[in-house]
């Protein structure tokens, strides 16, 4: 590998997290795949330990848990379910401070270099709760904090303006594969996945790459 | 140097721009020093070519031009003055499309990896014009785009919320030195510089470092 | 035609403007085509008189004027150029109150039922000037007021959140055709038009139709 | 009726919903009357089926339920109470996902062409919950989505900026009558209703009609 | 006068400026009357020196200048015209920095305790220019800084959210009288003034008084 | 005391509330001290009755209750705990309408001239709940309504833009003393208090005084 290639690689976004831990937090199975599946695959491939924390499995526990595990495997990530008593649970089954407490525990254990989660502008109140809980965990220690595109099975307009874009040209197929792993949510309901690829393609062209995922920047220390 | 140190260095923010060009655009001499003097010094030290483009010298051409040159030297940057006929000029002496044209020329020539300039939320209309002109140059090619803290000699409240923070603990003294080089604006008017250090200190503590400069993120491709 | 079909047709968006005048205002040739070409084609087909007012032709007057005329014809619209002395002119060649005066004259003459123009969030200062001038013309008389998506030849991210969507499934090809008529801006510069179709496709799917254009709502009287 | 009159009528806002169902959702009895009583009366008169869904009756069940029924009758609307076990209930008595579920059921049953509810900017947290729940129901199917003015018995300033205005000049008296039907909230507490008429009068003059109600536009498909 | 009355008087808003100077800046004659005529009358009556600075007289110099003088006299204020060569001038006849310079001069001369002007959200670009110029003058010295309601002869919706309200119950008639003094703008064009009284009445009721004017707070030192 | 001194004193911010009651509402012990400790001390010294309402003591009831009492005494304020059954309680232990009810009771009893509380932009969901509950109490009667800086033990960036500033140069030491009284939160956890003094110093310099606290203005009647 030439010096230039090495440098380029070294200063890439994934390189920032190589050898460190990245925590992706979603309200339900499939959320992080929809929002940042391509980003997580890139980080994992570049040598980061990537942990997906799913707050809760609200329905069809067996099926959706298995799908989440398959999907995490495709992305090269570890999976955790926060509210996990071996059956379905809803985020509203616990108080908000308990949700914060669960996330605090994960942050204390993992010491993540970055946390990525839902944004404050969402169509599902569970997504907003998870966002708010992640905001609170910032008090424990410094980590980069990003929020991803509103996520949903069936498209509807929700305001979101990304400030950062992750080039996922190399991992778009992995992302699509991971989304597809959630068969109960998509294939079994006859939902076409093409819009997720098309969205990534459109975002990519806004910044001159083939496919991209958009992120809002909550807190980023350029050191 | 150990492997770990090398990696840490490599994935640092300055490393992202090593061997590439960064363009900092200010409306008048002293603006980029106030906003991102510490950041520019770090980038320069890390091997980036840093060009400061001052849109215009509105008064005391000889004095302020010399101060700007001295300050750029302190920061390890090259200096350009865009409206430069060898005497004082005001940004409003040209049409906005002419200002955009001048910036377009600089962007075409330098091919910057990043552009840093004033934000849209400012107390001086020249600063906003420069911001808007830089926004337009984004159509020419991709570059990272950041906006810095409102800049002024005498403090007054202006809304600004940084999303990214550059650790300038190593270059705070260089920054203070570069600001002080603008004697006509500060020492000769009896203006105390302490507030600039204190602001950097406060920003630093928000993200766990000693001194920092805040940036808004306009466009950032994490590739 | 059945009663139901008649009713559905009657209460459609284009029907709102049938037999009335709609004014679309763009800063330069190609702007309204990019933003609302499909909408204008629909309105024209439904019996509205649609007037495209281009504020100025900033370069290659002969070529771009001809392209604008060809494009307007494709969309079924009339064309006017506001700053038109038979050669290139820039919006900044006149004072803002003069631009407002020109628009006032057009509004007084046409008595439009709706005005559609650039939004306040744009990447080109001429677009913002045109938006602001249209805002001012609202004082003369009531008309529906809409703002369209930021327009540009080469894609870059600009914040914009549409609140209304016009179904352009029937006129997407007309829109693409009208954009292509601006050869000097696209074909001759090797710019691919696919992104405009893809954007319309993505917007459409957000509201359950094949292709759509997004609008911000400035003022809308539901009477 | 002349052709012109027919056309004008046909393309009116109420005509858009003639023969279709419109769903108005309020947190408590009297909310939709205050926010959009005049709009609902117009829609009902124009042939729409208008259903008012009141989320809960928090106090004096018998009295307030009767008032709500009387008021709905005045407006020509059907009334539903979502949390209705024959006695007082509070929205917070159920989880948010249960509230969403109740609204989902209503949307599935009625297949509304439009939903109108509280906005996100409100002075009562129940109003915000109802807004958020309605936002979520948008995923089920397309319908026009509007939010109305903050509603309260005693006036206090709450930020809200309407983008659309419904001309209620013909139904202002019906609206006032419907509000007055909530005697327990107004007459019995000595609250003067004049402010609601005056507000409608002021809104009307902003868009050139005698009386109007203001709406924010959440999602509007102009097809 | 009892002790309590004295105290109440002393701590009133006008008392804050008794014996000090307040500067009201409008783009054209009639602007400050429409926005804060009642406030200025109260301040003047309470012993403040109130100076109205009109940036320019854009038309019918003789008539409008006389009207402005009559109106200022009604309000108990001094009048200045900034761009005043004895004939009509437009704000755009000077560069923005020249407008700032004129305001700087007035601020240096008067040393105002408060400046009140247009807000940044307006329907006329001259109003926005004046706002921006006033923002810049804040760097010279501390003064309270307020922005008033968008002003226009003919009503149209413009977003504005007041945070402070001045009780003008005692001076509403003076305000109406001062507005009426601008005969060329209102009576001679058949424009009804009732909306200005009604707006003040509505604002008043939001905060429990009979009539009020709304202000946005730019900078307020509670010392 | 000279006439001038008397007048200056009379029209000061604290004088506005002399002989009246001011209510400061915080989610937990130490919140109002961090946000407005200096302001409360000034108001108390100027003759206002200042009541601190702490919504809940979530941990170490005995210790934190004692600290809160000591701190209130230092500031010259009365202390109330809203959810107080003699042991730890969480705000989420009650429904939001119950929290509103508790605040309503306090407002009815005290008839405050001003209420100061958390802003809507916060890092802790309890703070936001308290803010929202205070917003609702505004319907009961008029009072000035202010929101203070996001409060936290360990610094992290949270968006907040103050519009008003209270000069606390005379009470900064009292504020620091009151914060220090919460030993369990700071000294015992090794948290340095210097950042709170530095923040006040920086805010002060923005408006030309030595130390200040920043406030957002929710509702302010200038009568």
SS (H, E, C) E170-200: CCHHHHHHHHHCCCCCCHHHCCCCHHHHHHH
Query: What does the mean pLDDT of chain B come to?
Result: 94
| Best residue of A96, A104, A140, A222 to probe chain F, by most F CBs closer than 10 Å | A96
What is the three-class DSSP state of E203?
Answer: helix
Contact between chains at A163 and B223 (C-beta distance less than 8 A) = no
Contact between chains at A222 and B165 (C-beta distance less than 8 A) = yes
Residue A21 has pLDDT above 50, yes or no: yes
Supply E186's token pair: 């209102």
Q: pLDDT grade, residue E213 (50/70/90)?
A: very high
Contact between chains at E139 and B156 (C-beta distance less than 8 A) = yes
Residue C57 has pLDDT above 90, yes or no: yes
Could you tell me if E207 lies within 8 Å of chain F, comparing CB atoms? yes
Contact between chains at A155 and C199 (C-beta distance less than 8 A) = no
- Name the residue among B152, B175, B165, B173 with its Cα closest to residue B217: B165
Determine the residue of chain B that is closest to E219 in CA distance: B157
Could you tell me if C46 lies within 8 Å of chain D, comparing CB atoms? no
CA Rg value for chain B: 17
What are the chain D neighbours of E195 within 8 Å (beta carbons)?
Answer: 202, 205
CA Rg value for chain C: 17
Which tens digit of pLDDT belongs to each residue from E151-204?
999 999 999 999 999 999 999 999 999 999 999 999 999 999 999 999 999 999
Is the CB of residue D7 less than 8 Å from the CB of residue C12? no
| Best residue of F34, F125, F128 to probe chain A, by most A CBs closer than 10 Å | F125
Report the distance separating Cα C181 and Cα E41, nearest Å: 60
Contact between chains at A15 and B10 (C-beta distance less than 8 A) = yes
Contact between chains at D206 and E156 (C-beta distance less than 8 A) = yes
What are the chain D neighbours of F100 within 8 Å (beta carbons)?
Answer: 125
Q: Give how far Cα A129 sits from Cα of A94, A119, A143, F134, Å.
A: 11, 10, 19, 21
> pLDDT 10s digit of each residue in chain D, 223 long?
444 445 554 567 888 899 999 999 999 999 999 999 999 999 999 999 999 999 999 999 999 999 999 999 999 999 999 998 889 999 999 999 999 999 999 999 999 999 999 999 999 999 999 999 999 999 999 999 999 999 999 999 999 999 999 999 999 999 999 999 999 999 999 999 999 999 999 999 999 999 999 999 999 999 8
- Series of mean pLDDT values for 10-residue runs along chain F (223 residues): 49 86 98 98 97 97 97 98 92 97 98 98 97 98 97 94 97 98 96 96 96 97 89
Predicted local distance difference test score (pLDDT) of residue A15: 85
Predicted local distance difference test score (pLDDT) of residue C12: 77
What are the chain C neighbours of D217 within 8 Å (beta carbons)?
Answer: 163-164, 217, 220
Q: How many helices (H) and strands (E) does chain F have?
A: 8, 7
Give the pLDDT mean for C159-170: 96
Q: pLDDT grade, residue A181 (50/70/90)?
A: very high
Query: What does the mean pLDDT of chain E come to?
Result: 94
- Name the residue among B134, B30, B118 with its Cα closest to residue B75: B30
Could you tell me if B154 lies within 8 Å of chain F, comparing CB atoms? no
Q: Do chains F and C touch (3 or more CB pairs under 8 A)?
A: no
Which tens digit of pLDDT belongs to each residue from E1-43?
444 445 554 567 888 999 999 999 999 999 999 999 999 999 9
Buried b (16+ CB within 10 A) or exposed e, F143-179: bbbbbbbbbbeebbbbebebbbbbbbeebbebbbbbb
Predicted local distance difference test score (pLDDT) of residue B18: 93
Phi and psi at residue F55, in whole multiples of 5°? -65, -45
Which tens digit of pLDDT belongs to each residue from E95-133?
999 999 999 999 999 999 999 999 999 999 999 999 999
Residues 6+ apart with CB under 8 A from D139: A123, A152, A153, A154, A156
**Touching chains, A (3+ CB pairs < 8 A):** B, C, D, F
Q: How far is CA D104 from the centre of its chain?
A: 18
Place of tokens 């009804």: E192
Supply A53's token pair: 């924390």
Contact between chains at F206 and B156 (C-beta distance less than 8 A) = yes
What is the distance between the terminal CA atoms of chain D, rounded to a whole angstrom?
26
Pick from D157, D161, D198: which is nearest to E207 by CB? D157
Phi and psi at residue E24, in whole multiples of 5°? -110, 125
Contact between chains at C136 and E126 (C-beta distance less than 8 A) = no
Report the distance separating Cα F177 and Cα E77, nearest Å: 47
Contact between chains at C132 and E125 (C-beta distance less than 8 A) = yes
Report the distance separating Cα F63 and Cα F71, nearest Å: 12
Beta pairing, strands B212-222 & B164-167:
antiparallel
Could you tell me if A3 lies within 8 Å of chain C, comparing CB atoms? no
Predicted local distance difference test score (pLDDT) of residue E4: 45
What are the chain A neighbours of F156 within 8 Å (beta carbons)?
Answer: 138-139, 219
| Best residue of A152, A155, A166 to probe chain C, by most C CBs closer than 10 Å | A155
Task: Kindly report the three-state secondary structure assignment for every residue of chain D.
Answer: CCHHHHHHHHCCHHHHHCCCEEEEEECCCCHHHHHHHHHHHHHHHCCCEEEEEEEECCCCHHHHHHHHHHHHHHHCCEEEEEECCCCCCCHHHCCHHHHHHHHHHHHHHHCCCEEEEECCCCCCHHHHHHHHHHHHHCCCCCCEEEEECCCCCCCCCCCCCCCEEEECCCCHHHHHHHHHCCCCCCHHHCCCCHHHHHHHHHHHHHCCCCCEEEEEEEEEEEC
Residue C27 has pLDDT above 70, yes or no: yes
- Name the residue among C28, C157, C156 with its Cα closest to residue C89: C28
Taking the CA of residue D207 and the nearest CA in chain E, the distance in Å comes to 6
Predicted local distance difference test score (pLDDT) of residue F11: 64
Contact between chains at A96 and F125 (C-beta distance less than 8 A) = yes
Pick from B125, B152, B157: which is nearest to E132 by CB? B125
Predicted local distance difference test score (pLDDT) of residue B85: 82
Which tens digit of pLDDT belongs to each residue from A35-80?
999 999 999 999 999 999 999 999 999 999 999 999 999 999 999 9
Predicted local distance difference test score (pLDDT) of residue F12: 78
What are the chain E neighbours of D156 within 8 Å (beta carbons)?
Answer: 206-207
Task: Kindly report the three-state secondary structure assignment for every residue of B9-71.
Answer: HHCCHHHHHCCCEEEEEECCCCHHHHHHHHHHHHHHHCCCEEEEEEEECCCCHHHHHHHHHHH
Supply C43's token pair: 């309105």
Residues 6+ apart with CB under 8 A from F104: F136, F137, F140
Residue B10 has pLDDT above 70, yes or no: no
Pick from C58, C126, C156: which is nearest to B138 by CB? C156
Could you tell me if F104 lies within 8 Å of chain D, comparing CB atoms? no
Could you tell me if B85 lies within 8 Å of chain F, comparing CB atoms? no
Q: How far is CA C109 from the centre of its chain?
A: 19
What is chain B's length? 223
Taking the CA of residue D68 and the nearest CA in chain C, the distance in Å comes to 26
Report the run of H or E that residue C200 belongs to, with start and end. Answer: helix C194-206
Residue A139 has pLDDT above 60, yes or no: yes
What are the chain A neighbours of C202 within 8 Å (beta carbons)?
Answer: 195, 198-199, 202
- The C-alpha torsion from B137 through B143 and B147 to B153, rounded to 10°, is -80
Taking the CA of residue A156 and the nearest CA in chain C, the distance in Å comes to 5
Could you tell me if D153 lies within 8 Å of chain E, comparing CB atoms? no
Report the distance separating Cα B112 and Cα B78, nearest Å: 13
Residues 6+ apart with CB under 8 A from B59: B88
Pick from E95, E97, E138: which is nearest to B123 by CB? E138
What are the chain F neighbours of E221 within 8 Å (beta carbons)?
Answer: 164-165, 167, 207-209, 212
**Touching chains, D (3+ CB pairs < 8 A):** A, C, E, F
Phi and psi at residue E146, in whole multiples of 5°? -125, 150
Could you tell me if D139 lies within 8 Å of chain A, comparing CB atoms? yes
What are the chain C neighbours of A159 within 8 Å (beta carbons)?
Answer: 161
Contact between chains at B132 and C125 (C-beta distance less than 8 A) = yes
What are the chain E neighbours of C140 within 8 Å (beta carbons)?
Answer: 154
Residue C215 has pLDDT above 50, yes or no: yes
Q: pLDDT grade, residue A1 (50/70/90)?
A: very low
What are the chain A neighbours of C159 within 8 Å (beta carbons)?
Answer: 161
Which tens digit of pLDDT belongs to each residue from B29-47?
999 999 999 999 999 999 9
Could you tell me if D128 lies within 8 Å of chain A, comparing CB atoms? no
What are the chain C neighbours of B138 within 8 Å (beta carbons)?
Answer: 123, 156
What is the three-class DSSP state of E26?
Answer: strand
Taking the CA of residue B156 and the nearest CA in chain E, the distance in Å comes to 6
What are the chain D neighbours of E156 within 8 Å (beta carbons)?
Answer: 206-207
- Name the residue among C24, C11, C168, C45 with its Cα closest to residue C110: C24
Given phi > 0 = left and psi -120 to 50 = alpha, else beta, which region is C148? Answer: beta
Could you tell me if A205 lies within 8 Å of chain C, comparing CB atoms? yes
Give the pLDDT mean for B119-130: 97
Report the distance separating Cα F206 and Cα F166, nearest Å: 12
Taking the CA of residue F195 and the nearest CA in chain B, the distance in Å comes to 7
Determine the residue of chain B that is closest to F153 in CA distance: B206
Residue C197 has pLDDT above 70, yes or no: yes
Percent above pLDDT 90 for chain E:
90
What are the chain B neighbours of F192 within 8 Å (beta carbons)?
Answer: none
Report the distance separating Cα F55 and Cα D82, nearest Å: 32
Report the distance separating Cα C44 and Cα C19, nearest Å: 10
Could you tell me if B209 lies within 8 Å of chain A, comparing CB atoms? yes
DSSP bridge pairs for F83: F56
Determine the residue of chain C that is closest to E151 in CA distance: C139
Pick from C195, C201, C207: which is nearest to A157 by CB? C207
């Amino acid at each position: 590998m030439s010096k230039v290639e090495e440098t380029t690689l070294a200063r890439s976004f994934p390189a920032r997290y190589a050898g460190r831990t990245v925590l992706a937090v979603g309200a339900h199975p499939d959320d992080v795949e929809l929002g940042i599946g391509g980003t997580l695959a890139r980080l994992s491939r570049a040598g980061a330990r990537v942990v997906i924390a799913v707050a809760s499995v609200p329905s069809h526990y067996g099926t959706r848990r298995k799908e989440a595990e398959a999907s995490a495997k495709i992305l090269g990530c570890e999976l955790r379910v926060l509210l996990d008593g071996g059956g379905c649970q809803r985020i509203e089954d616990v108080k908000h401070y308990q949700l914060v407490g669960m996330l605090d525990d994960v942050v204390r254990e993992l010491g993540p270099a970055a946390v990525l989660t839902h944004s404050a502008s969402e169509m599902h109140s569970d997504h907003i709760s998870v966002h708010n809980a992640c905001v609170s965990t910032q008090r424990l220690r410094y980590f980069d904090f990003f929020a991803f595109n509103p996520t949903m099975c069936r498209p509807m307009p929700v305001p979101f303006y990304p400030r950062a874009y992750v080039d996922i040209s190399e991992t778009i197929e992995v992302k699509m594969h991971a989304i597809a792993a959630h068969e109960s949510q998509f294939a079994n309901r006859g939902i076409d996945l093409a819009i997720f690829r098309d969205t990534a393609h459109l975002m990519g062209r806004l910044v001159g790459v083939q496919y991209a995922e958009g992120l809002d920047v909550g807190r980023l220390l350029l050191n």
